[in-house]
Amino acid sequence: MKVKLSLSHKRSMLGLLFIAPWLIGFIFLFAGPLAQSIRFSFNKLVVSPAGFELQSVGWNNFTDALFVDANFNRILTESIVGMAVDVPLILFFSLFSAVLLNQKFRGRGVARAIFFLPVILASGAIAAAESSGLINLVGNAQVAEELGQASSQFNVRSMVMILSEAGFPLGFIDYIVGAVMRIYEIISHSGVQILIFLAALQSVPGSMYEVARIEGATAYETFWKVTFPMVSPLILTNIIYTIIDSFSDSEVTRLIYETAFKTQNFGLSSAMAWLYTIVVSLLLVVMGYIVSRKTFYHN
């Protein structure tokens, strides 16, 4: 007997099929180390001739990370503040770039490839090429970076004066100047977000824009009444991706690595990693709850 499935069941099965590769990889590759890190966080690892022994220390590793270690709290706070500053800038730049790249113009494919180049340049492949000397075939990356930092100092004082004379508050001026000084970092972390926004823009039905033109809506009104609501679900996706990406290669991650493999304190390192995970998870839950309440879903 053939069982007919409803549309919701078909979508659920499609979703399960989509996450199946990740789920299988998590169960067979990550579940074991994850459980072991929980054990390490409540124990002290002592190397012995037979391998290693675990001596229970309770919550001492967590209290040491929060109240004894001189760097963990400071680095974690700086990472959270940096994330709070960079995420809005990356989202704004990504959406702005995606809207521009979605327009019809000659050479659009080349322009899209250029905007995705920073993602490739920031990847591990380029770092490996630089460490092996291959990057010197096209120039020294460190010299280029120093020249870029030197050239980025132009007209900063003039910019501050212009914004001050325009009546902007000092905090806003500092935020804008900081964004301009970190423009390469913002661009290098925006490639994936641009692609996600671009896919969302291309999925907006053209009939909506036709109706907006018939009703006499301006380009500004069309963006805020049609484009922005239709891409709002992907704004939440990009926020989550950007938060996770900002923490994936941060100073906290380096501190956790050094604590484990340089000082051989695996218990403290595991406790730091779990505290780090809890903070990131709380941020994702809070941001997801806030943004999802304002998200428009078109059925």
Q: Which segments within the chain are labelled E, that is strand?
A: 43-48, 51-56
pLDDT in tens, 235-277: 888 888 888 888 777 888 888 888 888 888 888 899 999 999 8
How much is the average pLDDT of 98-118?
A: 76
pLDDT confidence tier of residue 204, bands split at 50, 70 and 90? confident
Residue 108 vs residues 29, 105, 114, 149, 188: alpha-carbon distances, Å: 41, 6, 10, 30, 20
> 42: how many CB neighbours lie within 10 A of its CB?
18
- Is the pLDDT higher at 156 or at 110? 110
The first and second tokens of residue 194, run together, are 């641009």
**Structure pTM?**
0.73
Per mean pLDDT, which range of 62-66, 121-125, 177-181 is the poorest?
121-125
- pLDDT above 50 (res 77): yes
Q: Which residues does residue 47 pair with via DSSP β-bridges, in sequence order?
A: 52
Distance CA 252, CA 249 (A): 8
> Helices marked H in the chain — which ranges?
7-25, 31-41, 60-63, 72-101, 108-121, 124-132, 141-151, 156-165, 170-181, 183-188, 191-202, 206-214, 219-222, 228-248, 251-261, 266-293
Cα maximum dimension of the chain: 80
Compute the distance between CA of residue 57 and CA of residue 54 in angstroms, rounded to an integer. Answer: 9
Alpha carbons 163 and 299: distance in angstroms, whole number: 43
Decide which of 14 and 46 is more confident.
14
pLDDT at 141 over 80: no
- Give the least confident one: 20-29, 63-72, 90-99, 161-170: 161-170
What pLDDT, on a 0 to 100 scale, did the predictor assign at position 137? 43
pLDDT grade for 215, boundaries at 50, 70 and 90: confident
From the centroid of its chain, how far is CA 274?
A: 19
Q: Is the dihedral of CA 130, 132, 136, 138 positive or negative?
A: negative
Check residues 125 and 174 and name the one with the higher pLDDT. 174
Q: Parse the chain into domains and list their residue ranges.
A: 60-87+203-299
Per-residue pLDDT band for 138 (boundaries 50, 70, 90) equals very low
